[in-house]
Amino acid sequence: MKASDKNRPLVGRCTDVGKIRSANEDNMGDLPIDQGHVLIVADGMGGYRGGALASHLVVEAIEEYFRDARVETPPKAMRQAICLANERIYLRGQQEEELSRMGSTCVLAMVREGLTYLAHVGDSRIYLLRKGGKLQQLTRDHTVVQHFVDVGLLSPEEADGHPDSHILSRALGPRAHVEPELSEFALRLRPGDRILLCSDGLTKMIRDPDIEKILQKGETPQDAAEDMVQTANDNGGEDNVTVLIYEYHPTTQEEWDALEKEETQEVPVKKPASEPASEPHELEEDFASASTNALPHEEPAGEQHDLDPLPKKKEAPAAPAKEAAPKQESAEKEASTEAKAEESSAKDDAASAPKEDKKEESSEKKAEKTEEPAPSKEDTEK
């Protein structure tokens, strides 16, 4: 490593089509910004043309956003950038039938003044390796299988290698709106820390402990990135594989001062109002029918995903329903008439009740007089 490299961030990047696929549908980008850096990895889906175009649109839209935007609140800016990418893919898919089912994952990291902010959609991942520490996965896969793990229907061991692990619950493009998942905390980086962004072509071929070893031993981020891609191909190369590694080094005195004052490595992030931090994101599909409604990440060669970009519109009620209205009104009138008749009968019964009581009382008095004993002779003589 050159002496000058110690005073600036280092970026390593490598991508490959793999051993089975005929084309690379992954894309990545790294963009220096004011007081920081933006890192992007996107994994396209929807056939060769659709997948490659979708991931390209993700990187293009996000880089364009950050070139033009004045970032005041990183999480808000990252959410807007990802939503812009989703809109670009969705609108392009509506214009061409051949592209109607294309989509992409996205992992996005922004390093600014020594703090790292994260956002993602799909099953591409972001990892952090502290210098001298252990590898940490910072994102949660948006897949059906991961959801089952979260709710306790599957154990992590059962999820590992599950046949449905490729089915996504969230992706960019298939629908008009998507909500990215934003990190709860901004991480305070320290000199030598490495951030890894990758497509699932890496994590399907290399386990986390081996990723950690490669990331630790690579003299530079570029060495580590190339070694990871080569290892994934040596292990089978079943998918496109993309690796982007960022090694942090403070570039300003303010960043060095912050490192000395910072007592914690995590800084709470205020999320945009549209996604409260205290509420979990409501998944876009009913996972009880995940096999038909979720978004498959992969498809056999030459076939496209069975994606439904928009829910079907509800059909208008049939005409006979309107004709039934008069019948319903007539039935209501008959019921009302019967109710009135019953009410009138009840009033008549109530009015006649006192008269019957008086008659009964009169007959009882007569009976009492009849039953009185006749006067005796002694009483008469007195």
Q: What is the pLDDT of residues 168-202, one digit of tens each?
A: 999 999 999 999 999 988 999 999 999 999 999 99
More confident residue, 303 or 101: 101
Helix axes 74-95, 47-68, angle to 10 degrees: 140
Q: Which of 44-53, 77-86, 100-109 is the least confident region?
A: 44-53
Q: Is 152 left (phi over 0), alpha (psi -120 to 50) or beta?
A: left
- Mean predicted lDDT score pLDDT of the chain: 77
126/41 Cα distance (integer angstroms) = 9
**pTM, whole model, 2 decimals?**
0.71
Count each helix (H run) and each strand (E run) in the chain, helices first.
11, 15
Q: Which residue has the tokens 């980008």?
A: 29
pLDDT of residue 307: 39
- Whether 373 shows a pLDDT value over 70: the answer reads no
Can you read off the two tokens belonging to residue 285? 């599909």
Q: Which amino acid is at 85?
A: A
Which contacts of 77-82 are long-range, i.e. CB under 8 A and separated by 24 or more positions?
77/110, 78/108, 78/110, 78/117, 78/119, 78/180, 78/182, 79/119, 79/180, 79/182, 79/272, 79/274, 79/275, 81/108, 82/106, 82/108, 82/119, 82/121, 82/172, 82/178, 82/180
7/284 Cα distance (integer angstroms) = 44
Q: Which amino acid is at 320?
A: P
Q: Which residue has the tokens 């089912």?
A: 101
pLDDT per residue as tens digits for the range 88-112: 999 999 999 899 889 999 999 999 9
Contact 15, 48 (CB under 8 A): no
Can you read off the two tokens belonging to residue 380? 């008469």
Contact 42, 260 (CB under 8 A): no
291/62 Cα distance (integer angstroms) = 31
Contact 214, 224 (CB under 8 A): yes
Mean of pLDDT values over 46-69: 93
Mean of pLDDT values over 219-227: 96
Q: Which residue has the tokens 């076939």?
A: 303
- Burial zone of 316 (CB within 10 Å; 0-12 exposed, 13-18 middle, 19+ buried): exposed
Q: Which residue has the tokens 């991480």?
A: 187
Q: How many CB atoms lie within 10 A of CB 305?
A: 21
According to CATH, the topology of domain 3-296 is Phosphatase 2c; domain 1 (3.60.40)
Q: Where are the domains of the chain?
A: 3-296, 327-377
Q: Which residue has the tokens 């386990």?
A: 207
pLDDT of residue 320: 43
pLDDT of residue 49: 83
pLDDT of residue 44: 96
Contact 233, 18 (CB under 8 A): yes
pLDDT per residue as tens digits for the range 142-173: 999 999 999 999 988 888 888 888 899 999 99
Contact 194, 215 (CB under 8 A): yes
More confident residue, 186 or 323: 186
Task: Name the pLDDT band for 122 (thresholds 50, 70, 90).
Answer: very high
Cα first-last separation, the chain: 148
Task: Name the pLDDT band for 255 (thresholds 50, 70, 90).
Answer: confident
Q: Which amino acid is at 169?
A: S
Give percent above pLDDT 70 in the chain: 66
